[in-house]
Amino acid sequence: MNIYQIIRRSSNLAAKKYYVGQEASITRKIRKEDVDNFALLSGDSNPIHSTITSQAAVVHGALLNSIVSGVIGTRLPGFGAVVVQQTLHFPNKCYVDETVKVTIKLVENRKIMKVEFSCSVTDSDKVVLFGTAKLVMNK
C-alpha cells in the first residue's frame, strides 16, 4: 500500500473518540541513512551530524521532532491533526544507532487539543526530546 492509498483509506474512517490520558507510542532505531538523508533534505550540514567521521553523529533535533509529528498525524489524534503550537526541549543528545521510543499523551480534549510528548532512548531511558503541542483537527 502506498501513501496515497493510506490517505484515501483514512478519509473514510469514522470520527474517533478521544479521552484525556489516551496514549500512543512507537519505537524506532535511528539509522545512519536517516541522518544522512535528513541532512540532505534540510540542508543542515553541521559537522556534529556527520556520519563520515569516527565520532558518533548527533541526530538532528528536527528529525526527532518529525517522528513526533508522524505519531501525532497517524496515531494520536491521527489523520487530520494539524499542529498549531509546539514547545520543544532537548535535554540530552541522541546519537546514530540509538533506538528511541516516542510517546504522545492527550492532556486536553477541547476544540484545541493539547498533547505532551517525549522521546527517550530505550536502552537507557535517557530523554532526548520532550514538549507539548496544541492541535486542531482538520475536517
What pLDDT, in 10s, does the model give residues 78-96? 999 999 999 999 999 999 9
Question: Where residue 27 falls among pLDDT bands split at 50, 70, 90?
Answer: very high
Closest CA to 100 of 129, 73, 76: 129
Q: What is the Cα–Cα distance from 67 to 81, expressed in whole angstroms? A: 14
Residue 128 falls in which region: left (phi positive, over 0), alpha (psi -120 to 50) or beta: alpha
Scan for cell 476544540, then name that residue: 111
Tell me how many degrees the CA angle 69-75-77 measures, rounded to the nearest 5: 85
- Is-above-0.85 flag for pTM? yes
Q: Where are the domains of the chain?
A: 22-137
Which three cell numbers, joined as nine digits, stand for 67? 517522528
- Enter the CATH code of domain 22-137: 3.10.129.10
